[in-house]
């Protein structure tokens, strides 16, 4: 009996070690669903492991029998004739009932976990935000739409954030692997999900439903901040950005941006100016964002220059279509955008 237990113990140890290695190998990955940073993702990862271990046992059983039979029962003589077993009722009932029972257990755990992590079952009412899927970037609205932001979703640690998901174009899917599973963003429907994490940090998210040419580059970030940092950030984006100093390069840039001939204002909004377009992201506080172009590029000077030089080359198919700009124009516009904190 004892040796049997130690055998099982060893087997379990091997299994757990390999599972740990399996998870660790993915630690460098920013979207590993088995490296959770929220209660919901952790519960889901646990359920994943549970079903996975059952699957591994069944897999080993089937493959073991298969390989054993194939090796053991090879034909040794041309006229060899095996016994003609047509079936075995007891055996057949066994391998019907046992899997069925296992599945009942998995189903029960599924229902229980759905109650804990379901997008329509938030653990409470907290901060309401809206997330809107566009081709191919994410808009985020705070304060009932008064603050319009993009690609970065700031949330306070330890507080429930209730997310309302909408789209006015095609279907997208909202997914932050480390924090929360997917909820599709379906035009004509208002889907809901929630985010809750206590682990400060920046977590990568990505559109998970095919939505056209640049589906691959429709990414976003969830930034979990301490409640005070979050409050400070929210305050900064509620206020209008500082005006560029008169005569500065940035001021020239602002003139260009607001000049219809540069096409910017057709698609972008900058609060307090005549830029009121709604096709592209709201740029009022673009310089406080960590990334641009659906998080294809980090927000920095070099990337802004790269992006403005030829958006179609950087992100083929993007709806941002502008006339070619001279390096001077790009410098001025970039200088202005960098003041929009």
Which pair of structure tokens corresponds to residue 250?
Answer: 């940035």
By C-beta, is 218 or 270 nearer to other proteins?
218
CB of 169 to other proteins, least distance (A): 7
**Contact residues for 42 (Cβ-Cβ < 8 A; gap 6+):** 36
CB of 184 to other proteins, least distance (A): 5
Task: Please give the Cα distance from 287 to 300 (Å, whole number).
Answer: 9
Of 266, 244, 253, nearest in space to 341 by CA: 244
CB of 214 to other proteins, least distance (A): 6
Whether the CB-CB separation of 236 and 228 falls below 8 Å is answered with no
By C-beta, is 106 or 223 nearer to other proteins?
106
CB of 252 to other proteins, least distance (A): 34
Length, in residues, of the chain: 341
CB of 29 to other proteins, least distance (A): 3
Task: Please give the Cα distance from 292 to 112 (Å, whole number).
Answer: 39
Q: What are phi and psi of 206, to 5 degrees?
A: -160, 145
Whether the CB-CB separation of 180 and 195 falls below 8 Å is answered with yes
**Contact residues for 121 (Cβ-Cβ < 8 A; gap 6+):** 114, 115
By C-beta, is 78 or 144 nearer to other proteins?
78
By C-beta, is 188 or 324 nearer to other proteins?
188
**Contact residues for 241 (Cβ-Cβ < 8 A; gap 6+):** 270, 271, 284, 285, 287, 339, 340, 341
CB of 232 to other proteins, least distance (A): 30
Looking at residue 298, the DSSP 8-state letter turns out to be E
By C-beta, is 217 or 331 nearer to other proteins?
217
By C-beta, is 5 or 85 nearer to other proteins?
85
């Amino acid at each position: 009996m004892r040796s049997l237990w130690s055998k099982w113990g060893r087997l379990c140890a091997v299994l757990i070690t390999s599972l740990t290695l399996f998870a660790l190998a993915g630690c460098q990955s920013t979207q590993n669903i088995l490296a959770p940073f929220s209660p919901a993702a952790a519960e889901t990862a646990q359920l994943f492991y549970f079903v996975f271990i059952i699957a591994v046992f069944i897999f080993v059983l089937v493959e073991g029998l298969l390989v054993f039979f194939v090796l053991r029962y090879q034909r040794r003589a041309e006229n060899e004739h095996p016994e003609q077993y047509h079936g075995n009722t007891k055996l057949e009932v066994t391998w019907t009932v046992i899997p069925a029972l296992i599945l009942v257990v998995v189903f029960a755990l599924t229902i229980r976990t759905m109650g804990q992590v379901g997008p329509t079952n938030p653990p409470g009412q907290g901060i309401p935000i809206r997330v809107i899927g566009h081709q191919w970037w994410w808009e985020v609205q705070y304060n009932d739409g008064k603050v319009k932001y993009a690609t970065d979703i700031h949330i306070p640690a330890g507080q429930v954030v209730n997310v309302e998901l909408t789209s006015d174009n095609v279907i997208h899917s909202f997914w932050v692997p480390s924090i929360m599973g997917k909820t599709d963003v379906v035009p004509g429907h208002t889907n809901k999900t929630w985010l809750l994490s206590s682990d400060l940090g920046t977590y990568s998210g990505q559109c998970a439903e095919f939505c056209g040419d640049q589906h691959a580059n429709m990414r976003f970030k969830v930034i979990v901040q301490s409640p005070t940092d979050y409050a400070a950030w929210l305050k900064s984006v509620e206020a209008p950005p500082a005006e560029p100093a008169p005569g500065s390069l940035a001021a020239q840039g602002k003139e260009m941006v607001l000049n219809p001939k540069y096409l910017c204002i057709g698609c972008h909004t900058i609060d307090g100016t005549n830029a009121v377009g709604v096709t592209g992201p709201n740029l009022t506080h673009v310089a406080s964002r960590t990334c641009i172009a659906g998080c294809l590029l980090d927000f920095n000077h070099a990337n802004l220059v790269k992006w403005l030089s030829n958006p179609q080359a950087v992100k083929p198919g993007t709806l941002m279509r502008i006339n070619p700009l001279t390096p001077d124009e790009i410098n001025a516009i970039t200088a202005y955008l960098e003041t929009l904190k």
